[in-house]
Amino acid sequence: MSSPHDVLESDPYIGPLIERYGRLGLDPAEDMFQRLVVAILRQQVSMASAEATRERLFETVEITPETLVTTDETTLRECGLSRQKAGYVRNVADAFASTYDRAYFESLDDEAVIDELTTIKGVGEWTARMQLLFSLGRPDVFPVGDLGVRKGMRALFGDEMSRGEMVDRAERWAPYRSYATLYLWRMDEDVATAVAEVTEA
């Protein structure tokens, strides 16, 4: 049976990147809730700031839905979360404590996962698509809303494109667009570092 890399190696755009960077793989998180918390911490802050907050939070509080639901805002703020992000983390904790777990999302298709996650205040489409990649390991995700993906597409194809045009061009990599996305990120070392941080929990 052919692997995603076997298929993509014949592509004139991604093939050379596989040769350069090797066979990059998806490594789904064991704990979807923790991965989602980390994604929220990374929203709209520098990598250094997000990492410092993550370290303090994970050292101070057990990162489970049940624990974070009952953690007071003061404790979360002392770990470095803004009032808004403290609320977002509590929203996610409440949703996972009452309704969601990994098995629930594994039974849904990609769009249904996005629809469900984005009902939680603080979880936008970008964050939801990151969960498809890094929590559920879905093979055919193309997060065109991600800046690193757009930078990679422009570098790879050498011209300016709208997001719609990027989505159209990425069709050539279906049904393995997640793997192509990993190579788009690797084209920019700063983005590669950011992705490594997202996957660390």
Q: Work out the percent of the chain whose per-residue pLDDT is above 90.
A: 82
Look-up of token digits 């990492």: 51
Range of the domain at 161: 4-26+141-188
Say whether both 54 and 89 belong to one domain: yes
Is pLDDT above 90 for 195? no
Q: Which two tokens stand for residue 92?
A: 């996610």
Q: Are residues 41 and 86 in the same domain?
A: yes
- Output the pTM of the full model: 0.86
**Domain shared by 13 and 49, yes or no:** no
The rounded mean pLDDT for the chain is 91
Q: How far apart are the first and last CA of the chain?
A: 32
**What does the pLDDT look like over 44-92, one tens digit per residue?**
888 888 899 999 999 999 999 999 999 999 999 999 999 999 999 999 9
Residue with tokens 């809730």: 33
At residue 180, the pLDDT reads: 97
Same domain flag for 90 and 171: no
Q: How confident is the model at residue 200 (pLDDT cuts 50, 70, 90)?
A: very low
Helix pair 177-186, 125-134: axis angle to 10 deg: 100
